[in-house]
Amino acid sequence: MIWHTCKVECNRLIAPEVFELTFSPLLPFKAGQMVHIAIEPKNTKRLYSLASGENDPAMTVIFDLRQSGQLTPLLSRLSAGSTIYSSTPHGSFFAKPGPAWWIATGTGIAPFRSMLRSGLGEDKKLIHGGRFLESFYYSEEFKSMGNQYVRCCSQQQHESVYAGRLTKYLQETPLPGKDYSYYLCGSAEMVVDTRDLLISRGVSFEKIVSEIYF
């Protein structure tokens, strides 16, 4: 693996225990790709989807702090000027042309933010699942999608969000035409449940593209 030495530009909380880490230099990538990140290449490395746009001046990832995890407690303590290491961006979770639904839970929103910021939001609907109202990071940016941006909140209610889990929303909502693709990103549980639900509702397997955070 080729490691690039990077400088942290900013590390900030965007929700309880969720951090946004921005670093440079910008390495060329396609929206939807990921990088390995390490504090020290010989030690623990983990994968993170890029949340920044292809033309942003720096690269951004978002991560959940796992209190007893190996890497994220160290990442959470980084500050501007710290050194980290990034792999060359890779992965094939690309937004292909054509209409699609983007479906994410938690930090699985990252590749879709990258796609939106890279100008790939046309003909797309974004469905984001989270437990609390504060779980909908970047909602101010996604509001540019109008009624094609749906937040499914499982543990709090508010007029701006659908009350319930993302899978309940998908079960109750008419699905679009057969030309639509479905991009799923998040936990294995969400991806498997959503994939099975879509298939049971007549979506063909080939139309479903998944990125699992494990």
Ligand X SMILES: Cc1cc2nc3c(=O)[nH]c(=O)nc-3n(C[C@H](O)[C@H](O)[C@H](O)COP(=O)(O)OP(=O)(O)OC[C@H]3O[C@@H](n4cnc5c(N)ncnc54)[C@H](O)[C@@H]3O)c2cc1C
Three-class SS of residue 38? Answer: strand
Residue 21's φ and ψ, nearest 5 degrees, are: -110, 120
Going residue by residue from 24 to 43, which x/- string records binding to ligand X, judged by CB under 6 A?
----------x---------
In angstroms, the CA 189 to CA 142 distance is 24
Question: CB 157 → ligand X: shortest distance, Å?
Answer: 26
Binding segment for ligand X among 68-76, 116-124, 160-168, 170-178 (CB under 6 A)? 68-76
Q: Which stretch binds ligand X (CB under 6 A): 62-70, 132-140, 173-181, 191-199?
A: 62-70
Between residue 117 and residue 176, which ones bind ligand X under the rule CB under 6 A? none
Position with the least CB separation from ligand X: 69
- Tell me the residue type at 59: M
User: Which residue, 68 or 79, is less far from ligand X as judged by CB?
Assistant: 68
Q: Which residue of 6, 8, 100, 110 would you call a contact of ligand X, by CB under 6 A?
A: 110
Residue 64 interacts with ligand X (CB under 6 A)?
A: yes
Across the strands, what pairs with 4?
86
Burial readout 80-118 (b: 16 or more C-beta within 10 A, e: otherwise): eebebbbbebebebebeeeebbbbbbbbbbbbbbbbbbb
